[in-house]
Amino acid sequence: MKRPIRRRITRLAATAAAVLGGVLVAPTPAHAAWGTTYDLSIQATYQFPTGSTTQVGRADGWVQFDDGGDTFRYSLTVCRQSGYTTPELQVAVNAGWVGQTWEQTNLEYFTLPTGSTVTPTAPCYGDTNTVTGQDTYTNFSNVEFVLFGDTIGASGYTTVSKKYVGVSPY
């Protein structure tokens, strides 16, 4: 007779522990899920007055948005082509025209070091670096990446830029 009583007490203790454990463990807040990865390429090109062009810098990579609408992450490989110096990269949100002025909220600005951290592959042949990051900004509508490069043009030292604007799907 002692065995059935022990079993009952053991089962009762196990059930009580399971219920109590479920109550004591607080639910963790849900993390927003990452959506589709969008590929992007930016090519900064200088156009001479004669009409010929030279590629000064390039960025290739991806951007991804979380479905909560407040966070994005990215990875871009930035390279120097015929630029005078290594290209620079700006990351911003909410870019667009306000009247006749292009405006955005700047989040980060990367001045890349001279010397490659990644082996260049065509169409890159100069300094190549990878920039990876994640930013959170409440209720942004888009993300903007601006690549700045420079060269010696017809009137001396010239900086050119090219931008990519990706709209958040959330």
Domain borders along the chain are 34-167
CA distance 59 to 79: 6
pLDDT of residue 117: 85
Confidence of residue 20 (pLDDT cuts 50, 70, 90): very low
Q: Return mean pLDDT, the chain.
A: 87
CA distance 56 to 82: 4
User: Does 131 or 20 have the greater pLDDT score?
Assistant: 131
The backbone torsions φ and ψ at residue 14, rounded to the nearest 5 degrees and listed phi first, read -65, -40
pLDDT of residue 62: 98
pLDDT of residue 23: 43
- Paired residues of 143 in beta bridges: 93, 166
Asked if the 34-167 domain carries CATH number 2.30.42, the reply is no
Which residues in 118-152 are b (16+ Cβ under 10 Å) and which e? Answer: eeeeeebebbbbbbeeebeeeebebbbbbbbbbbe
pLDDT of residue 100: 97
For residues 86-101, average pLDDT: 97
pLDDT of residue 13: 54
User: Would the pLDDT of 67 be above 60?
Assistant: yes
Confidence of residue 27 (pLDDT cuts 50, 70, 90): low
pLDDT of residue 28: 52
pLDDT of residue 154: 77
pLDDT tens-digit map of 122-166: 888 889 999 999 999 999 999 999 999 999 877 889 999 999 999
For residues 94-99, average pLDDT: 97
